[in-house]
Amino acid sequence: MSPSDKPLFDKVALIGVGLIGSSMARAMRRAGVAGHIAGYAHTPEIVERAREAGFADTMHSDLAACARDADLVVLAAPVGAFAQIAKAIAPHLKTGAIVSDTGSVKGTVLRDVSPHIPANVHLIPAHPIAGTEQSGPEAGFAELFDGRWCILTPADGTDTEALAKLRTFWEALGSQVEIMEAKHHDLVLAITSHLPHLIAYNIVGTANHLEQVTKGEVIKYSAGGFRDFTRIAASDPTMWRDVFLNNREAVLEMLGRFSEDLTDLQRAIRYGDGDFLFDLFTRTRAIRRGIVDAGQDSAAPNFGRNTEKSEK
């Protein structure tokens, strides 16, 4: 769509302008899908920083003012805050508006948000599978969603026109759109995202405890594998606390399986079962190839990290 066409939405309200919200604003501008982009932040400092970054037409510290008259309202805050936000904006929602979100957990969005949504407003939860370990309004960039998946988890009976419109919106932002049930989403994400983050947080925490090995040594020799985990373990603490508290059941299920498998691996090392190790390590390679082939990562060695001495 060229910017001269009538935009898909006259007004889009972004409740939260961190990495995801501010990337959406930038991608919306690139695509010309919003006549007016309103942003909300919960502290005056972030309102100010967002104004300086300039990706929104208006920035608000008042939820009602941000959501009022919006054709699309997107909750892009930690999922633990959704119930409170939904309650605050509900009386100000425009008839026919779409309310969506970007939360990493979808079951509890329906549970926490839908009781507050008026009958004449369409609630369609969404989850763009994209991100970096950076946070804040300066961290966003327009290309974040390009080629990445966005999962929509509409409840039964969702208005098909509103659903089609939200799909078009995310496609305009660069994403490929998939639709699935909230419960299945939470299971898929538990293994592809929540468990990896949990494990990364845990191993970095374990390293932090060690007394025989100093913190300086852990940092110095991190290029042997550890640094990749620290990147994930640098993700936003509030967001991730809320993810684990809100997808508890699926995360505990995946964690149970992970621990069982780890016990097998531990036993193989203890008893010197080299064949077990070699077989597992060969199978895991194939999954990697699948991800590179699917265009979800680059095959460049070392993630294309620049190994020049000048890198800092």
Structure tokens, 118: 């008026």
> What's the burial of 90, exposed, middle or buried (CB within 10 Å: 0-12/13-18/19+)?
middle
Amino acid identity, position 4:
S
Structure tokens, 250: 């699926």
Residue 212 backbone phi and psi in degrees, to 5: -70, -30
Closest CB to a copy of itself among 47 and 233? 233
Closest CB to a copy of itself among 32 and 196? 196
- The minimum distance between CB 19 and a copy of itself, in angstroms, equals 8
- The minimum distance between CB 171 and a copy of itself, in angstroms, equals 12
- The minimum distance between CB 95 and a copy of itself, in angstroms, equals 34
Closest CB to a copy of itself among 6 and 275? 275
Closest CB to a copy of itself among 91 and 205? 205
- The minimum distance between CB 129 and a copy of itself, in angstroms, equals 5
Chain CA centroid to CA 153, Å: 15
Closest CB to a copy of itself among 155 and 252? 252
- The minimum distance between CB 270 and a copy of itself, in angstroms, equals 6
Give the separation between CA 13 and CA 60, rounded to whole angstroms: 10
Closest CB to a copy of itself among 17 and 198? 198
Count of CB atoms situated within 10 Å of the CB of 245: 13
- The minimum distance between CB 43 and a copy of itself, in angstroms, equals 17
- The minimum distance between CB 87 and a copy of itself, in angstroms, equals 20
DSSP 184-227: HHHHHHIIIIIHHHHHHHHHHHHHHH-SSS-HHHHHHTGGGTHH
Closest CB to a copy of itself among 163 and 203? 203
Q: Are 154 and 125 in contact (CB under 8 A)?
A: yes
Closest CB to a copy of itself among 155 and 245? 245
Question: Would strands 72-75 and 58-60 be described as parallel, antiparallel, or unpaired?
Answer: unpaired
Strand, helix or coil at 94? coil
Q: Are 170 and 126 in contact (CB under 8 A)?
A: yes
- The minimum distance between CB 265 and a copy of itself, in angstroms, equals 5
> What's the burial of 268, exposed, middle or buried (CB within 10 Å: 0-12/13-18/19+)?
middle
